[in-house]
Amino acid sequence: MSVTARKRGIPLFQRVICQATDAVGDIAVTIGYSGDLTVVRKMNIDAPTQSTVLGMIVQKIDDTNAIVQVGGEVRGVYTGLTPGRRLFVGTDGRLTHAVPIGTPVGVRLSQAAAIALAPNTLYIQVWPPTGIIQ
């Protein structure tokens, strides 16, 4: 897998501290800071009080250190995308074309975080949450 990123020629990357279970392609939210580094975890749309989206994990350096891309074009992390369609954060913390549906109990956040440019290329662009689905 190769990952390339551009936002009009300017890559937007941030080194972060992550959870050991976080993976490349997961959407990361800020949960705190440790020294100069941001601490993140995979987004949980069933916990709408958490921070907003920081970006996508595009590289794991080791178990608890990663590179998050906060905007721009990403190739090679996802495949099977439909060009021109928004990508929402799914229940697994990864991007999907399907808009999340409500849960029988509790609330769920609906958050678009990218748009597909090609079958294997997306553009990270975080929109404000479109609402809380109940």
How does the average pLDDT of the chain come out, rounded? 85
Whether 131 shows a pLDDT value over 70: the answer reads: no
User: pLDDT: is 128 or 61 the higher one?
Assistant: 61
Q: What is the pLDDT of residue 101?
A: 73
Q: pLDDT grade, residue 86 (50/70/90)?
A: very high
Mean pLDDT, rounded, for 27-45: 92
DSSP 98: S
> What's the pLDDT tens digit per position in 107-119?
677 788 999 999 9
Residues 14 and 36: their CA atoms lie apart, in Å, by: 11
DSSP 129: P
pTM (whole model) above 0.75? yes
